[in-house]
Structure 1
Amino acid sequence: MSTLNSATLTLGVCDYPEHVPENEWTAHAQRQKELGLAYVRLAEFSWAKIEPQDGRFDWQWLDNAIDIYTQHGLKIVMCTPTATPPAWLIQKHPQILAIDAQGQTMRFGSRRHYDHASLLYREESKRITTLMAQRYGNNPAVIGWQTDNELGHEGTAVSYGGASAMAFPQWLSERYQTLDALNQAWGCAFWSQDYSDWQQVNPPNLTAVRQPNPSHALDYQRFCSDMIDEFQQVQIDVLRALSPGRFLTHNFVIFAQEFDLYKVAKNLDFVAWDSYPIGMLEFFATWESEETKTEFARTGHPDLVSFNHDLYRGIKGGRDFWVMEQQCGHANWAQYNPLPAAGAVKLWTAQAWAHGASSVTYFRWRASHMAQEIMHSGLLQQDGRADRGYQEVKDFDPSNFALEKVNARVALLHDYNSLWIYNLQPHNKDLSYWHQFMMFYSALRELGVDVDIIHPEQLANKNYALVVAPALTLMTPEIATQLHHTAEKCPLVFGPRTAFREHSGRVAKHGQFELIDTLVGVKLANFDSLRPTISQQIEQEDKQASFSAKLWCESYVLTTAIATHRYTDGPMQGMAAVSKHEQVSVIGALSATLIKSVLKDVLTEQGIDTFELPKGLRLSRRGDTTLVLNFNQQDVEWHGNTYPGVSFTDL
């Protein structure tokens, strides 16, 4: 595999030579090399520039750009341009367009306006990918490929008509074999939803006055995920054949939930993701107070950023990842787009490395003069002057950051089927899978603990000191078996709604915990979805601590477990809120302080050091190096040392 062959962190940039006059390209390449950048990412939105009309090609501009970069010692990450099918292709084949949840056909004028299930569009994607790979696949400057761009992002993973609607019944028939099996799995006896012909099954949108059958919606999400996987695989097959020895990756997005990343990434060499810490704060930290958002408005919340780093490191089982787009100034797409604090770009770069990144690519080289991203910054301003991020990249020395292993002793279990079924019926409008998951993740990060985020199937042959399953709602026999094996080696901690659903999305016949009942030693008594004005009080059995829970509470009937915490008021008064059976604990209440307290006790029992970190201060370890990262805009004192705002410091 062609790589940068570096033992330390490497830096690159996303560049769009087609956006500026060609007489400026040489100066840009020279400045990029002087800045210490090793490569440029090219061409992900260039289909219309390469093929302005059906069958008429203009390769010369891209040939010239590659030659200039190469002459200045820069490598190339080439992209397939399939995220932006050109206007002539839409005019010729309008049936490739996706259909939204309201039944409206998407129109040309933005990006990702195609249906992944369209066999016609897959052939067009294969054609343009083949032509690009034939021309550039063996160019020594090309070190790797990025497929498409941000698959499924911005609600584009699902099409509710066209090719997807036609393909869904066949996908179901292959999965269930008989309609009786489908009707049973979906619980179609409810509301007289039984099907007598495969062609009666439509996508789960516009379902009259109520929400669709959740099992129907779950399977449609799985189907759309499979269509994305198949769509990308067409490109992977072409690139493997025509560009051997080059890496293949894809740039996923923040808190991606539109498809099963474990499946979609399985045939990539490593994963990459696009990191925009400030925009991420607004759109994904919906459970945080406005006060917290304001505190981290110019740095992004440290746990939201690091969560995604840990997630993408875990997708391929701990393999190093790339940040393919790193915010280096203000973005343009969030509801609010503050200017980052001075030092934030260096902080984000160091943080990415500490969580397992081997390369960071800044978005973008020069701010755009045109179209949708005019308000988005780059390393250069529109007039070519160096922007703030440019100087921070210049001052950052990547050779100090060796590519050693991240050795986390704690694992968090993540599963997309659980995410989908949880969010289909949250039972509380302020609650989501990510919200619950992040309560456990933040508790560990606040205690100074490094974590791996992995799928339960990845537990095989792994040795952790602690495994935590924050929201493993959907349970299968295979996962249950793996959890039983894991409990023989280390403690397990489960969060609310654990094992409430089976693979079909139905509740198990014997209720919650059916497949792991001997592991947890409890049965569900009741769950309680709390209004924002209601809280439930909880007390530790030894009376040493009390806690207040919001949003969601579960109470348990003890079979072989003991109660370590009980509710002290409300309809669950006296019932178990937290249980423990041998090495397995179940936390039934959503209380940040309760979760942190229980996890701290287990970590201490396992001999893992914990810390009481000040707000916004985090520890991250890679190899023998520990970084203290301060995401606050003011200095923070901790352990007798003063850490300046928005900085990182070697311990």
Structure 2
Amino acid sequence: MVATSNNVLALGVCDYPEHVPASEWKNHAEQQKTLGLQYVRLAEFSWAKIEPSDGIYDWQWLDDAIATYVAQGLKIVMCTPTATPPAWLIQKYPEILAVDAQGQTMKFGSRRHYDHASDIYRQECKRITTLMAQRYGQHADVIGWQTDNELGHEGTAVSYGGASAERFPKWLETRYETLEALNEAWGCAFWSQDYSQWQQICPPNLTAVRQPNPSQALDYQRFCSDMIEEFQQVQIDVLRALSPNRFLTHNFVIFAQEFDLYKVAKNLDFVAWDSYPIGMLEFFATWESEQTKSEFARTGHPDLVSFNHDLYRGIKGGKDFWIMEQQCGHANWAQYNPLPAKGAVQLWTAQAWAHGASSVTYFRWRASHMAQEIMHSGLLQQDGRADRGYQEVKDFDTSQFVLEKVNARVALLHDYNSLWAYNLQPHNKDLNYWHQFMMFYSALRELGVDVDIIHPEQLADKEYALVVAPALTVVTPEIASYLTQCAKNCPIIFGPRTAFRNDSGRVADKGQFQLIEDLVGIKLANFDSLRPTLSQSVEQTETSTEFSAKLWCESYELTGANATHTYLNGPMAGVAAVTNKGNVSVIGALSGSLIKSILKAALGEVGIETFTLPKGMRLSRRGDITLVLNFNLHDVEWEGTTYPGVSFSTLN
């Protein structure tokens, strides 16, 4: 179901024929074919163009555009236009608009201005999707569909009023059945928050004085995730019925955390995501220096890009993914938008392939003359001249990029309940789930190791040489069972805050590790949230090697494990910082060098080769090919070979 030619990487482009005169379409299609592109993505924001007023349709422009591309041998990826309900629809049904955290109703004039829980809007989406699928669903050159666009992105996953506010109590009643169970799960005895009627429960915004109940906020995040899953399923059902044998996908976004991707992607054929490596630098937030951001300002940081590749490959259990929007010049939406370095577009394309992409779609064909994305580049400039990325795509030889499997032997465990619970109460303003997760991920990538990013439940599907759980804060009995079974045959390394909360977001009655104490052999002694000026020294017991930990430190009471590292100073001096029991280790101190040291030793014990890579260089393997990727602007010498700046090479 994936559009590829001769089992090699396919290339395509996002195009908006409705943005330019029809007289230019033929020339654009001819250029796209000459460039080696295979398909064009269309119509994602075209609802008002298709249906300019209620029940009045104009299909001719889209029919003609499709015919123009097809005449050049290009295939079509069709999109449902539901990310942009038109003005007449908002005027007719203003109740579909979402409500923000301040209680203000969103207005028309941008995109994704709707409440996913709205039955009215779902029916309108079903109607327009049905009409599109009836017209194009069995077109010989329509190879697949993208649902909506970047679901939940830019803070649009959550609505705090309207249909969501109305449906939330009903969702809770289904989940908990009784108010007594809900009050217990949420700890409503705290601050006299007990509920006596379901209708008393509101979305967790505008709570007085301090933060809302974190268990309520956690459940609201789950509820909103479920609403997005239901919203998309309406379109999936229509497309499956009316457009059989075409793929269905969705274009997710950078570090998506607005909903549970494992659930939302469940009924898609494969996942896609939108890659903007330079804009991604802002996701470092406070944990990387401005110097690092400057060093990678024109290439993006290799680990931020590759993390998302590995995440989306893992969402569907290792299945190839698509890049549905690949940056090919300067973007427009980040705080800073430098021009990419020469060679960056080819580097990003090769990196995507190496991590499991079967197709890369460049955004966009021609830079827009209008509206919100007027500052965003395309393969063509606004006047139609080829931009920098055009030549790089033209010179990119896809024949060497065969679609083999990515065979990672190391797994990192990722879970959205843990992400939400962690970030609701980070206990340190400079720390969050992604920061902690990336410390472990980057350490592995710096060692030249390929990884799968999977949910704990996926441990049952594949055997690994090493499993790492950087921030598995929420542990349920089911997850505990998967971990226990895995540890019988495979080493597991846990990070701080592991198993600190149960499924409702509360701390278990017997404290951290209650469900896996037999596995880890420790109890929590204490934790320490460090100011930026504070640090804790950690010593490895056998070698007396010292490490410096920042931000977060946990100490442990031993109930069966051994202490491999202890704290040397501060209020936890002399207490265990890192422990081991059989196949299971727990790292309690956030120190990049400490984490890397422990991972390197563990990798050696299971026979996985590690490397000492220069800064900004990474190794990625697919099938029998190993790529060396240099994200530095300058040449780098490594193991007797000089690698040019902003380039990729095959390792001999």
TM over 0.5, shorter chain: yes
Tell me what 2:415 maps to: 415
Tell me what 1:358 maps to: 358
Tell me what 2:498 maps to: 498
Report the secondary structure of 2:278's partner residue.
Answer: helix
Matches for 1:135-150 after TM superposition, within 5 Å: 135-150=135-150
CA distance in 1, matches of 2:168, 2:318: 34
Percent identity, aligned pairs only? 81
CA distance in 1, matches of 2:225, 2:286: 25
Deviation per CA, 1:346-405, whole angstroms, max 9, x where unpaired? 000000000000000000000000000000000000000000000000010111100000
Tell me what 2:540 maps to: 540
* Residues 4 and 359, structure 2, Cα contact 8 Å, conserved in 1: no
> Structure 1 unaligned runs (5+)?
none
Report the secondary structure of 2:412's partner residue.
Answer: strand
Deviation per CA, 1:138-197, whole angstroms, max 9, x where unpaired? 001100000000000000000000000000000000000000000000000000000000
Tell me what 1:27 maps to: 27
CA distance in 1, matches of 2:6, 2:217: 45
Deviation per CA, 1:30-54, whole angstroms, max 9, x where unpaired? 0000000000000000000000000
Following superposition, the deviation at residue 550 of structure 1 comes to: 0.3
Tell me what 2:225 maps to: 225
Residue 319 (structure 1) aligned with residue 319 (structure 2): yes
Tell me what 2:120 maps to: 120
Report the secondary structure of 1:115's partner residue.
Answer: coil
* Residues 538 and 546, structure 1, Cα contact 8 Å, conserved in 2: yes
Following superposition, the deviation at residue 5 of structure 1 comes to: 5.1
Tell me what 2:607 maps to: 607
CA distance in 2, matches of 1:250, 1:408: 25
CA distance in 2, matches of 1:16, 1:461: 41
Deviation per CA, 1:113-150, whole angstroms, max 9, x where unpaired? 00000000000000000000000000011000000000
Q: Which moved more, 1:337-346 or 1:278-287?
A: 278-287
CA distance in 1, matches of 2:5, 2:207: 54
* Residues 51 and 57, structure 1, Cα contact 8 Å, conserved in 2: yes
Tell me what 1:447 maps to: 447
Deviation per CA, 1:430-485, whole angstroms, max 9, x where unpaired? 00000000000000000000000000000004110000000000000000000000
Q: Which moved more, 1:151-160 or 1:283-292?
A: 283-292
Report the secondary structure of 1:411's partner residue.
Answer: strand
CA distance in 2, matches of 1:426, 1:586: 19
Following superposition, the deviation at residue 615 of structure 1 comes to: 0.3
* Residues 152 and 158, structure 1, Cα contact 8 Å, conserved in 2: yes
Following superposition, the deviation at residue 2 of structure 1 comes to: 6.7
CA distance in 2, matches of 1:284, 1:154: 17
Tell me what 2:305 maps to: 305
Residue 480 (structure 1) aligned with residue 513 (structure 2): no
Following superposition, the deviation at residue 3 of structure 1 comes to: 3.5
Give the aligned residue type for 1:16: Y
Report the secondary structure of 1:277's partner residue.
Answer: coil
* Residues 168 and 203, structure 2, Cα contact 8 Å, conserved in 1: yes
* Residues 75 and 142, structure 2, Cα contact 8 Å, conserved in 1: yes
Give the aligned residue type for 2:45: F
* Residues 4 and 358, structure 2, Cα contact 8 Å, conserved in 1: no
Give the aligned residue type for 1:495: G
Report the secondary structure of 1:37's partner residue.
Answer: coil
Tell me what 2:465 maps to: 465
Tell me what 1:264 maps to: 264
Tell me what 1:8 maps to: 8
CA distance in 1, matches of 2:5, 2:345: 24
* Residues 527 and 554, structure 1, Cα contact 8 Å, conserved in 2: yes
CA distance in 2, matches of 1:524, 1:648: 45
* Residues 16 and 42, structure 1, Cα contact 8 Å, conserved in 2: yes
| Cα RMSD (Å) | 0.7
Tell me what 1:511 maps to: 511
Matches for 1:200-211 after TM superposition, within 5 Å: 200-211=200-211
Following superposition, the deviation at residue 285 of structure 1 comes to: 4.5
Tell me what 1:240 maps to: 240
Deviation per CA, 1:264-310, whole angstroms, max 9, x where unpaired? 00000000000000001023443110000000000000000000000
Tell me what 2:342 maps to: 342
> Structure 2 unaligned runs (5+)?
none
Tell me what 1:96 maps to: 96
* Residues 508 and 514, structure 1, Cα contact 8 Å, conserved in 2: yes
Tell me what 1:437 maps to: 437
Give the aligned residue type for 1:370: M
Q: Which moved more, 1:363-372 or 1:277-286?
A: 277-286
CA distance in 1, matches of 2:407, 2:210: 47
CA distance in 2, matches of 1:73, 1:433: 46
* Residues 3 and 247, structure 1, Cα contact 8 Å, conserved in 2: no
Residue 623 (structure 1) aligned with residue 623 (structure 2): yes
CA distance in 2, matches of 1:553, 1:483: 23
Tell me what 1:376 maps to: 376
Residue 39 (structure 1) aligned with residue 31 (structure 2): no
The TM-score normalised by the length of structure 1 is 1.00
CA distance in 2, matches of 1:344, 1:82: 32
Give the aligned residue type for 1:199: Q
Report the secondary structure of 1:106's partner residue.
Answer: coil
CA distance in 2, matches of 1:386, 1:282: 28
Deviation per CA, 1:409-433, whole angstroms, max 9, x where unpaired? 0000000000000000000000000
Following superposition, the deviation at residue 407 of structure 1 comes to: 0.3
Tell me what 1:279 maps to: 279
* Residues 633 and 646, structure 2, Cα contact 8 Å, conserved in 1: yes
Residue 425 (structure 1) aligned with residue 420 (structure 2): no
Following superposition, the deviation at residue 626 of structure 1 comes to: 0.1
* Residues 3 and 246, structure 1, Cα contact 8 Å, conserved in 2: no
Tell me what 2:189 maps to: 189
The TM-score normalised by the length of structure 2 is 0.99
CA distance in 1, matches of 2:114, 2:323: 26
CA distance in 1, matches of 2:492, 2:280: 30
Give the aligned residue type for 2:241: A
Tell me what 1:597 maps to: 597
Give the aligned residue type for 1:499: A
CA distance in 2, matches of 1:499, 1:281: 30
Tell me what 2:154 maps to: 154
Q: How many residues align?
A: 651
Give the aligned residue type for 1:549: A
Could you list the structure 1 runs, at least 4 aligned residues long, displaced by more than 2 angstroms after superposition: 1-6, 283-286
* Residues 4 and 143, structure 1, Cα contact 8 Å, conserved in 2: no
Go from structure 1 to structure 2 and tell me whether the alpha carbon gap of 1:2 and 1:593 turns closer, same or farther (over 3 Å shift): closer
